[in-house]
Structure 1
Amino acid sequence: MKKLTWFFGTLCILFLSFCYSLGNAKIERETVSYPKDEILALSKKKWKWIIDRQIDSLQVLFDENIVSRQPEIRMDKAGHLDVIKNGNIRYKQISVLETDIQIIDNISTLLTKVEFNFPGRKRAEIKYVTEVFKKSGDDWKLILFQINPI
């Protein structure tokens, strides 16, 4: 009887140790940065930079050959930064409603459903935004930014 109790006690301790190590391994895996997480975080920062008009941060993010399209408007990098800097387009709040992300090699495509709130307007506008990022060295650069009405 003592051997049986000792055996089950040892088995329980081993099982608990195994479960503990599995739990710690899961936590370590969750802290690892994956490209999708990196791109989603970068896109989220981009929206904040646009609202706050942080041109220096956007200057680094935008590729030199970025194509920026909004309904009936096509801009290059300088044009897009100028529109943001001068407040020609001003957002009170931007809420991301849905995001679909696809990464192939060093290209990432985001299709995002976004709600734009403008100062002085009671109704928000919902639009789809397409963002294409390209891995350049260790950094991701935004090469396409397109806003489409729904």
Structure 2
Amino acid sequence: MRTLIFTILLTVIAAQSVCAQASAREQEILKLSKDKWQWMADKNVAVLGELFHDKSMFIHMGGTWGKQQEIDVIKSGNIWYKKAEVYSVTVNFIGNTAIVLNDIDLEAVVGDNTVINPFMVTEVYINENGQWKMGSLTFSRLLRPVKMRSGS
């Protein structure tokens, strides 16, 4: 009987430890995703260059390209990710890969035009050597109305 109680106690402690680790890993990715929106708004290409994997891909309404073109687009201001209003975020882990879904309204300056679009943004992060790198960023336009007020 003692052995059974001891085994159950160890199982509960181990389960709590695994949940805490998963929660910490999830919080790390959520913070990284949130910070990424700010770095994009700030046009912080130095930090984004470190975040984006060399083989990363970016899928937009107007085209698909790799890391260097995305950095160039941000740096030049051809697309300025001015503000992302995030309404919900979910994270799913598959091995060393994190898939983040963001329901957002994005205020962006594209050329000379300010636009606001509702998107489901898919971010894929890969953990390599203990560091998260973005492997893909995909903007899928939603049919729902925009919730954000312009300039807010």
Q: Same fold (TM over 0.5)?
A: yes
Q: Secondary structure at the match of 1:91?
A: strand
Task: Give the superposition deviation at 1:125.
Answer: 1.6
**AA aligned opposite 2:81:** Y
Task: Give the superposition deviation at 1:72.
Answer: 3.6
Q: 2:24 aligns with which of 20, 26, 34?
A: 34
What does residue 136 of structure 1 align with?
Answer: 128
Task: Give the superposition deviation at 1:33.
Answer: 6.7
Q: Distance in 2 between matches of 1:66 and 1:91?
A: 18
What does residue 113 of structure 1 align with?
Answer: 103
Q: Against the structure 1 CA distance between its residues 109 and 56, is the aligned structure 2 distance closer, same or farther, given a 3 Å change threshold?
A: same
Question: Counting helix residues as a fraction of each chain, which structure ranks higher?
Answer: 1
What does residue 56 of structure 2 align with?
Answer: 66
Q: Percent identity?
A: 28
Q: Distance in 1 between matches of 2:89 and 2:140?
A: 14
**Equivalences for residues 63-102 of structure 1 within 5 A:** 63-102=53-92
Task: Give the superposition deviation at 1:126.
Answer: 1.0
Check if 1:47 corresponds to 2:48. no
Say which is worse superposed, 130-139 or 88-97, in terms of deviation.
88-97
Structure 2: give runs of 5+ residues left out of the alignment: 1-18, 143-152
**AA aligned opposite 2:91:** I
**AA aligned opposite 1:112:** N
Larger radius of gyration: 1
Question: Counting strand residues as a fraction of each chain, which structure ranks higher?
Answer: 2
What does residue 21 of structure 1 align with?
Answer: none
What does residue 5 of structure 2 align with?
Answer: none
Q: Distance in 1 between matches of 2:105 and 2:81?
A: 10
**AA aligned opposite 1:48:** Q
Structure 1: give runs of 5+ residues left out of the alignment: 1-28
What does residue 150 of structure 2 align with?
Answer: none
Q: Against the structure 1 CA distance between its residues 105 and 149, is the aligned structure 2 distance closer, same or farther, given a 3 Å change threshold?
A: same
**AA aligned opposite 2:56:** I
Q: How many residues align?
A: 121
Check if 1:145 corresponds to 2:137. yes
What does residue 117 of structure 2 align with?
Answer: 125
Q: Secondary structure at the match of 1:103?
A: strand
